[in-house]
Amino acid sequence: MNYDEYPEFPRWEKNFTARSGEGLTIRNLSVRDMRWPTSLGAHGSDAMHTDPDYSCAYVVIYTMNDNEGHGLTFTLGRGTDIVVQAVHALSHLVVGQDAADIFNDFGAFWRKLTSETQLRWIGPEKGVMHLATAAIVNALWDLWARIQHKPLWKLIADMEPEQLVRCIDFRYITDVITPEEAVKILRERKPNRDRMEREALTRGYPAYTTQVGWLGYSNETVTQLCHKYLSEGFTAFKLKVGQDLQDDKRRCKLVRSIIGDDKILMVDANQNWDVQEAIAWMKELAVFKPLWIEEPTSPDDVLGHLAVSKALAPLGISVATGEMCANRVMFKQFLQSGAMQYCQIDSARIGGVNEILAVYLMAYKLGVKVCPHAGGVGLCEMVQHLQLFDYICLSQTSEGRFIEYVDQQHEHFVNPVHVRNSHYMPPKAPGYSTELRREAAEGYEWPVGSEWQKLFASGKFQDPKHVPTLPPTKH
């Protein structure tokens, strides 16, 4: 791997290395720009993101006594280098710290990471900076779970309410939930934890599939995939919509005709509409009885989603959103106003496990069901842990809830998800299921990885070192 040929990409490993310290002192933090060429197959295409190359900024934290924590945040290709640069900018807050101190007062550390006095300006708590925060924080949780020899869901489910609540920064959300209320809720639900854990281990947690309906797929592909997932026991299917109404009707009709009226159909517009347009379009699709319309408009538009929710409620259509919801403050408003009926937490966009726990607590208090967003790279691996926390410690039911499932990109992980009869089976390996296999990490690091070098040589992708000069569009 020759980095010297790519001066414009941040190096994956810098010398932020602690000189002294022992035990759980964090001696190093590395971050890599990982990309996979998924745009070649139109996998993952939607109305706004037509050619994604599923990617991630991949962080590894090393302690003096050689424990490791792996964490990532999902990206779509270009721009992963920007997130990598942001991880570097945050790493001075992590390297040199004793991980035990971090875990003992994790909420305070999380605030420190998201409130760095100069870096805060270029967020705050959103976009590139928050994606970088998520990658680092997720690596810390993986480290903690490995040290405890537990899968992450079990680490959290075994916590005393006070310890769990101490991981959360309640800044800006105390008007909806206070630490005291959170402790009270968790304490009330605690007696059932053992039973819920046994049930989860036996039955797993229900999944739905998004794989039948990417915009780029042909009718034949849709039909074949519907039959495939029906035969695997899936009962809920999601379609992408929003680019062409007639085409949406054709595909909704096709899927509904194959899965029948007793199965669940959801549709997802990926933010393609304005508010009034979303309402008008969904009235046209109401005949296909979708459970929800996902991301009807801008992910920042709480009041817009509220208007869509009110307009579509009489038609029996709910609103789901969350995968691009910036942080707990935005989730708070969606939840408290009634702008979302399904809360789709994302494991990599908001600032890692700590902040997601806050969202689960607010959703539980306000009676909104959480159905995590997944797919991409590593999102399925991570959200299964989080939803198991909800199942064991909070809602204690999976009624009307499911985790999104896409069976792509799992082969790159040391501990990939295990979905059986349309259910996620609880992971048992210590950690957060976030470690990439060595071959994946070496082959797909952008742009120096061996697989990328092959793709450049084959002409399927352009080597960034050969595109410094761009032709003008005219003449």
- Options 92-100, 362-370, 437-445, 453-461: segment touching a second copy (CB under 8 A): 92-100
Q: Does 174 bind a second copy (CB under 8 A)?
A: yes
CB of 469 to a second copy, least distance (A): 6
Among 86, 137, 282, 293, binds a second copy (CB under 8 A): 86
CB of 120 to a second copy, least distance (A): 6
Among 105, 274, 411, 439, binds a second copy (CB under 8 A): 274
Q: Does 168 bind a second copy (CB under 8 A)?
A: no
Q: Does 459 bind a second copy (CB under 8 A)?
A: no
| Tokens found for residue 160 | 């005393």
- Options 70-78, 142-150, 234-242, 285-293: segment touching a second copy (CB under 8 A): 70-78
Catalytic residue among 88, 369, 373, 412: 373
- Options 272-280, 404-412, 413-421, 450-458: segment touching a second copy (CB under 8 A): 272-280
CB of 187 to a second copy, least distance (A): 23
Tell me the site size for a second copy, rule CB under 8 A: 91
Among 122, 201, 245, 313, binds a second copy (CB under 8 A): 122
Identity of the residue, 158 or 216, whose beta carbon is nearer to a second copy in the bound complex: 216
253 catalytic? Reply is no
Among 56, 61, 125, 309, binds a second copy (CB under 8 A): 125
Q: Does 330 bind a second copy (CB under 8 A)?
A: yes
Q: Does 21 bind a second copy (CB under 8 A)?
A: yes
Identity of the residue, 89 or 264, whose beta carbon is nearer to a second copy in the bound complex: 89
The contact mask relative to a second copy for 281-320 (x = CB under 8 A, - = no) is: ----------------xxxxxxxx--x-------------
CA dist 303 and 183 (Å) reads: 30
The residue assigned the tokens 């699709």 is 285
The contact mask relative to a second copy for 130-159 (x = CB under 8 A, - = no) is: xx----------------------------
Positions 98 through 117 that interact with a second copy (CB under 8 A): 98, 101, 115-117
Catalytic residue among 88, 240, 385, 412: 240
Among 67, 163, 243, 336, binds a second copy (CB under 8 A): 336
Q: Does 66 bind a second copy (CB under 8 A)?
A: no
Buried b (16+ CB within 10 A) or exposed e, 197-235: bebbeeebbbbbbbbbbbbebeeeebbebbeebbeeebb
- Options 120-128, 184-192, 284-292, 402-410: segment touching a second copy (CB under 8 A): 120-128
SS (H, E, C) the chain: CCHHHCCCCCCCCCCCCCCCCCCCEEEEEEEEEEECCHHHHCCCCCCCCCCCCCEEEEEEEEECCCCEEEEEEEECCCCHHHHHHHHHHHHCCCCCCEHHHHHHCHHHHHHHHHCCCCHHHHCCCCHHHHHHHHHHHHHHHHHHHHHCCCEHHHHHHCCCHHHHHCCCCCCCCCCCCCHHHHHHHHHHHHHHHHHHHHHHHHHCEEEEEEEEECCCCCHHHHHHHHHHHHHCCCCEEEEECCCCHHHHHHHHHHHHHHHCCCCEEEEECCCCCCHHHHHHHHHHHHHHCCCEEECCCCCCCHHHHHHHHHHHHHHCCEEEECCCCCCHHHHHHHHHHCCCCEECCCCCCCCCHHHHHHHHHHHHHHCCEECCCCCCCCHHHHHHHHHHHHHHHHCCCCCCCCEEECCCCHHHECCCCCEECCEECCCCCCECCCCECHHHHHHCECCCCHHHHHHHHHCCCCCHHHCCCCCCCCC
CA dist 386 and 367 (Å) reads: 18
Q: Does 254 bind a second copy (CB under 8 A)?
A: no
Q: Does 226 bind a second copy (CB under 8 A)?
A: no
Q: Does 472 bind a second copy (CB under 8 A)?
A: yes
373 catalytic? Reply is yes
Positions 358 through 387 that interact with a second copy (CB under 8 A): none
Q: Does 403 bind a second copy (CB under 8 A)?
A: no
Among 37, 67, 82, 286, binds a second copy (CB under 8 A): 82
Residues belonging to the active site: 240, 373
